[in-house]
A and B are shown apart, each in its own frame.
Chain A
Amino acid sequence: MKKLSFSAVLSPASLLVLAVLLTAFYAALHMAGWREQVSILSGTSSATRSSGEVQIAQGLVYAGLYFGMTLLVPVLVLAALLQLLYQCLLRRESPSVTTTTAPPTRIDVDQERQA
C-alpha cells in the first residue's frame, strides 16, 4: 500500500479533493435538514433531554461543516490554484519541466528505502 505523506496531502489534487468532500458532506447535512439544529448556538435546545443531546451533536456538526464550507473550502481551492499557478510559472521558465508529479527519481527511491 502506498504511504500517504504530508507532501501528498498538500498537493493541489489533495486540497481540491478535500474541498469537494467538505462541500459534499455539508450539502448532504443541509438537505437532511440539520440547519434547524443550530439553534443550540443561542442556547435553545429541543424539548426533551435525549432529543436535546442529539440536537446538540447535529447542530455542532452542521455548524462546523458550514464554517468549514465558508472559511476553509475557499482557502483550499485558492491554495491549490496558487500551487498550480506557481508550477505553471516554473514550467514557463524551465521548458524541460513537465510536471511536479513526475515519475520518481533515484533520490526518491533512496529516500523511500531509508524511510
Chain B
Amino acid sequence: MTIRAWGGIGGWRQFWLGMASLIAATVIWLPLVHVFFQSNPTDYRSANAIPPRAARIAQRHIRLWRDPQLRSDATALLRVNNPEWDLMSRSYLVLSLVNMSLREPDRRPDDVATVDRIIDDTLAAERQQGHFHFLLPYAHARPFTQSPVRSHHVDSQIALMLAARCVLERHEEYDQLLRDRVELMQRRMETSAVLAVESYPDECWMFDIVNGLAAMRMADTAVGTDHASFVRRWLSVAHSKLTDPRTGLMLSSFTRTGQPLDGPEGSTIWMVAHGLQLVDRDLARDQYRRARDELSETLLGFGYAREWPSSWVGPSDVDSGPPIPGLDASAGASGLALVGASAFDDEAYLAQLVTTLDFAGFPREEAGALQYCASNELGDAVLLYATVLGPLWEQVQSGDTP
C-alpha cells in the first residue's frame, strides 16, 4: 500500500496520526509552560531595597488612599463580598508600608502620612459604626458570649496597624491607643481557660489570636509594655489544647472553651506561622514545616496551596475562595502561602508560587501600577506584603526601640 493510499483512506490513519501528534505535543508542552511564567527573583525579592514588583503593586494602593472616589469604589466592592476584607486590606497595606519605609527611609514621610490616614479612617469607622461594620452578617446570628460585645478580629487588626506604626515612629496618641488596645485584648483573653477570645459569637480564630499576640510583642518593643509571661502561658495552652493531633498544626477556629470548630486551614496557618515568628521562633518554623508537608503542592512547576490537609474534610468559605476542582487549589490559601514562603526564606516554593501567580493571577499593568485581576484589594495587599515583609519583624525581634 502506498503512502498516497493511506493519506486517502486516510480516515483512520489520519485520525491516529492526529491523536498521536496531540498526545506528543501535550507531553512536550505542559512541562514547559511554567518556564514562560517564571520571573527573576530580583523582581519580587530583595534583602534591603524594595523589589520592583512591590513598588508597582504599592503604587495602585497608595493612589486608592489619595483619591476618595477610587477608594470608595474599591471599598464598596470589597465590603459587598466580605466586610472583613475591607479591614484586612488596610492592615496588610499598613504592614507593607511600614516595611517599605524601613527598607528605604527616604519614603518615610509619605508612607507615614498614608499609614496615619488609614489608621484614622479605620478608628473613625470603628467609633461610628462599631465592630459589626467589619464583620460578616452572621455575627448577628446569635449573641456573643462575652460582654461587652467586641470582636477580636477587629481588635487584633487595629492593634497590628497601631503597633506597626509605633514601631516605625513613635506617636503620642497612637502609643496610648496601642497600650489601651493590647491591655484590653489581654484582659478579654484571660477570661477563658484556653486564653481564647471571640471573633464571632463563640468562635475564636487562631488567625486573630496570633495577630493579637504579634501586636503585643510589637507593643513591647514600641511602647514598653511587657507581655512575655502572658505569651508563655498562651504557648503552653496552645501546645496542649489548640493543636490538631493528626497534623500537629494549630486549629483554625474553636469555641471559648477550646472545643475545635475547624481544623488546620490553609487561609489561616501560613499567616499564623508568620505571626508566631514574633512569639516563638521554633514553634513558628515547626508550624511552617508542617504546613508545607500538609498543604503545599507543586504541579508541572506551578506551586499552590490547599485549604485543608488530606486528613481533614472541610468546606470552602469566603476566605478560601472557590477551590479549583481536581487540584483542590485555594486562591486564599495560595496567596497567604506566599507570605509564609517569603517569611521563612523558602525560595523554591516562593518561586513556584510566584510562577502560578503570574500564570493564573491575571496580572494587569496600567501606568506602572500592577494589579492581579483574579484577586482583589485584599489579595493584592497580601501579595505586596509578601514581597516586602522582613524589616519590621527583624526590628521587633532585635528589640530595637524606635
Contact = CB atoms under 8 A, between A and B. Distances in A.
B373 interface: yes
Contacts of B80: 45-47
B225 interface: no
A75 B3 contact: no
A94 B10 CA distance: 17
Give the secondary structure class of B's interface: helix
Contacts of B33: 70-71, 74
Max chain A C-beta neighbours (<10 A), residue from B21, B77, B379: B21
A7 B18 contact: yes
Contacts of A105: 4-5, 8-9
Size bracket of the A interface: 35 or more
A111 B359 contact: no
Interface residues of B, number: 45
B376 A10 contact: no
B70 interface: no
Contacts of B76: 47
B2 A94 contact: yes
A80 B331 CA distance: 35
B9 A75 contact: no
Interface string A84-107: 001000110010111111111101
Given A43-B331, A47-B77, A78-B25, A10 B322 contact: no
A99 B374 contact: no
A96 to B, nearest CB: 7
B390 interface: no
Interface of A: 5-11, 15, 35-39, 41-47, 63, 66, 70-71, 74-80, 82-83, 86, 90-91, 94, 96-105, 107-108, 111
Given A38-B374, A45-B80, A83-B17, 4 more contacts: A5-B11, A10-B15, A43-B322, A107-B5
9 contacts: A10-B18, A11-B18, A38-B374, A43-B318, A43-B321, A43-B322, A70-B359, A74-B25, A101-B7
| A-B residue pairs, 6 tightest by C-beta | A10-B18, A100-B7, A7-B14, A78-B25, A79-B21, A79-B25
